[in-house]
Amino acid sequence: MKILCIIGTRPEAIKMAGLIILMKQDKRFECIVCATSQHKELLHDALRFFGITVEYDLSIMQPKQQLFEITVNILKTIEAVILSENPDIILVQGDTTTTFISALAGFYSKIRIGHVEAGLRTFDKNAPYPEEMNRQMISRIADLHFAPTQGAKQNLLQENIPENKIHITGNTVIDSLFLVISKIKSIADPESSGLFPSISSDVWKHLNDNSKKIILVTAHRRENHANNLGIVCQALNELAKRDDVIIIFSVHPNPNVKEYVEIELRNTRNILLLKPLDYMSFVFLMNKSYLIITDSGGIQEEAPSLGKPVLLTRDLTERPESVVAGTVTIVGCNSERIVSKAVSLLENQDEYTKMAQINSLYGDGKSSERILEILANQLS
């Protein structure tokens, strides 16, 4: 039973890692991994961490690449892989351009498509852009839909996806998160272990200083580039005036983010700008942080399992479960709201405690196992 897994970015690799590892160990499956390398360095860092080798690397990444280039380059290069392998099913994950174009290529080749993390919706085609339309179009193509939550399943049902094609599995990112947390807990002395190479000495100094609370920050969404990113930076500059915080910003390598953030924040006291962190280092910092400011989708899933409050710098989310549970607060790209909510969490222990409850909204760490058994039953 041959399964072709196609991944292009680090989040896809992280969320597919557990599934790929299990498939490669299972004699019922022949697992072929193809990397488009839509994000080359970040993707391959994650693959190395999980010990995953790829059979195909399309290496499509170009400097300052645009959506048109990504789309065309994937579609042109993936055809040969599909024709050569002729898999029983193609597995894709999430909502990237790699995910959508790979599903489209599979459809053109009349190969079944399995969609991991299916059914997420904001119902606004521009938020996030282009991911919302990517996942809606994938749902029209896919044959098997692995929905992380009941809400995601309900979205698919409302779009007339047959119920027998939808399977609630939890989110595979929690599988990877639990694996990494378990590994971190086994390390007696993290600082001297050499296992966190992307955590600088300046960061370690603050991790060992209990007088400051860590605010961890990420930003990468296309719709938040330029003006919106400037508003987030304005809020961070304001928060950095406090003596009780240290802001650690893991800066995405996209020039639209990196160059802007370095201009706005590189000389600000109490702000440390870091190169992109390897996954284990990032999980370590998430677990050490007091709160997280981000526009990431994956962090909205991981943070509830760690009991970390998230301030979401978006106006909409396709992961409403964490908002309803109170772990995530939507603040948008509004400087006043970001600062006000962050200050409230820093100063009001009762409010912080309400947001910092550990819960398993997105899974129990066994999502990959469920998907594997569903595939075995569906394809037998």
**Residues with catalytic roles:** 95, 117, 131, 220, 222, 252
Give the torsion sign (CA, 338, 273, 13, 288).
negative
Alpha helices, H only, 111-171: 131-141, 150-158
CA distance to 178, 222, 252, 327, per residue, from 305 (Å): 9, 27, 24, 10
Please report where in the chains the tokens 């002729």 appear, as a residue. 86
C-alpha 19/C-alpha 353 separation (Å) is: 34
CA distance to 4, 100, 109, 124, 290, per residue, from 84 (Å): 11, 20, 12, 38, 49
Q: Which two tokens stand for residue 176?
A: 């990877």
C-alpha 2/C-alpha 86 separation (Å) is: 8
List 5's β-bridge partners, or say none.
33, 91
C-alpha 187/C-alpha 177 separation (Å) is: 16
